[in-house]
Amino acid sequence: MKNNTKINFLPKQYAKNKKYNINHSYLVEQFSDYKKIFSKIANVVKYGDYTLGNEVINFEKDLSKRMGSKFAISVGNGTDALYLVLKALGIGRGDEVITTPYTFIATVGSIVTAGAKPVFVDIKEDYNIDENKIISKITKKTKAIMPVHWAGRPCEMNTIRKIAKKYNLKIVQDSCHAIDSRYYGKQIVSFGDACTFSLHPLKNFNVWGDGGFILTNNKSLAKKLFLLRNHGLENRNKCKMFGYNSRLDTIQACVANYKLKTKLTNITKKRIQNAHLFDKYLGEISEIITVKRNKNIKEVFHLYHLNVKHSRDKLIKYLNKNLIDAKIHYPIPVHLQPASKFLKYKRGDFPMAEKIANSTVSLPVHEFITKEQIAYTSKLIKKFFLNYKK
């Protein structure tokens, strides 16, 4: 790379203070047109339309259309989305929910907060729950399966749906990584009772703080969720069921609606292009294992992972030294977290989750990464392994 500034996509004034040249963070660039959103927010203020305002209602309408779901229920964040779905399905104390130990802690946190017991099933090499190991974990207490479409790759929903049908289980899809993904050409919402999403700044589709939403095709579930997120109030004076306060902030709805219409399609497209380019370059390196892609599955690459056969931590150090923000998502699977102690799992219980936690590297893959940066990053990784052998 002749010109180092080419690698640095950040505006000059920010670049000076940044540690990395190829960074996981991209929010300043992504919201460089923030003034357009300010004018929408001005309208909210002008009309005092703060609580479940027009922007929220319009966002839900546009969202359900765009995502191919009958209903979209916006909520306070992605964790609430999971929790509220469990509550609306009547899942709580004494119940078990099957999920993966290789996820962001919020997945498991929502199950525990709802009062139910998380039961883990190991993952496969693609980081997703091993659908063939689910049945052996089903008990009389099992009420739901909560698959996580990790990194934006949909789980094997055909099999999971068959199991759920046979054992009369609900399917709550933690889709926080998987906005715009497809499974055999179909939107993932059609493969379960509900899909939950987060609008956290670090997700593919994001706002300026916390936010989230639920997609479902089930009318009675949607009705319950609309009530539960707003104190169970049917109208100002009538409370149908005791609920919660987990409304999407109207100002965040302005941001979300703007992004939905102007940015999301491109974000998804660029991430996929970037990931495929990484696949091509990294596929040539024998010390690296990348996830086998499946033509029938549209992955949206919230994260781009590779697994190394050895020297993971050294590789990350080397990349960081060369100003590339390589990271680990995540080094400790949930069953080995101190918070999980009461579940009585131990090291070795989920060998694939543990193996991946020890060998995974994630590389920046967002829409502002250039082809040159991808080539440069890949070249450095190749160089690292060439030198390492010596």
Ligand X SMILES: *Cc1c(COP(=O)(O)O)cnc(C)c1O
Q: How far apart are CA 193 and CA 48, in angstroms?
A: 35
Position 75 contacts ligand X (CB under 6 A): no
Q: Which residue has the tokens 């966002």?
A: 59
Q: Determine, following the binding rule CB under 6 A, whether residue 173 of this chain makes contact with ligand X.
A: no
Closest CA to 375 of 300, 287, 278: 278
Nearer to ligand X, 103 or 268 (CB): 103
Task: Specify whether the CB–CB gap between 212 and 248 falls below 8 A.
Answer: yes
- How many other β-carbons are positioned within 10 Å of the β-carbon of residue 235? 7
Residue 103 in contact with ligand X, rule: CB under 6 A: yes
Give yes or no for residue 107 binding ligand X (CB under 6 A): yes
Spatial contact of 252 and 210, defined as CB atoms under 8 Å apart: yes
Residue ranges with strand state E in the chain: 71-75, 96-99, 117-120, 142-145, 170-174, 182-183, 186-187, 194-198, 212-216, 288-289, 297-298, 304-308, 360-363
Kindly tell me which of 202 and 239 has the beta carbon lying closer to ligand X. 202
**CA dist., res. 187 & res. 109, Å (int):** 26
Interaxial angle between packed helices 105-113 and 78-88, expressed in degrees from 0 to 180 and rounded to the nearest 10? 40
Min separation Cβ 97 and ligand X, Å:
14
Q: Is 21 in the site for ligand X (CB under 6 A)?
A: no
Q: Footprint of ligand X on residues 191-220 (CB under 6 A)? A: 198, 200, 210, 212
Nearer to ligand X among residue 10 and residue 155 (C-beta): 155
Give the Cα separation of 113 and 266 in Å (integer).
36
Residue 106 interacts with ligand X (CB under 6 A): yes or no: yes
* Residue list 346-375, contact with ligand X (CB under 6 A): none
Report the residue from 143, 153, 170, 177 that binds ligand X according to the rule CB under 6 A. Answer: 177
Residue number of the CB closest to ligand X reads 78
Rounded to a whole number of angstroms, the minimum distance from the CB of residue 73 to ligand X is 14
By CB under 6 A, tell whether 248 contacts ligand X. Answer: no
Least distance in Å: CB of 372 to ligand X?
Answer: 29
160 versus 315: smaller Cβ distance to ligand X: 160
Give 94's strand partners. Answer: none
> Residue 85, interface with ligand X (CB under 6 A)?
no
Report how far residue 276's alpha carbon sits from residue 373's, in angstroms, rounded to the nearest whole number: 14
Q: How far is the CB of 253 from ligand X (least distance, A)?
A: 15
Residue 127 and residue 151 in contact, taking contact as beta carbons nearer than 8 Å? yes
* 53 interacts with ligand X by CB under 6 A: no
Dihedral-angle region of residue 325 (phi above 0 means left; psi in -120 to 50 means alpha; beta otherwise): beta
Least Å distance, CB 304 to ligand X, is: 15
Q: Which position among 78, 118, 243, 364 is part of the footprint of ligand X (CB under 6 A)?
A: 78
In this complex, which beta carbon is closest to ligand X, that of residue 281 or of residue 335?
A: 335
- How many residues in the shown chain lie near ligand X by CB under 6 A? 15
Overall residue count recorded for the chain in this entry: 390
Examine residue 108 and tell whether it contacts ligand X (CB under 6 A): no
Which residue among 104, 127, 213, 376 contacts ligand X (CB under 6 A)?
104
Residues in touch with ligand X (CB under 6 A): 77-79, 103-104, 106-107, 148, 174, 176-177, 198, 200, 210, 212
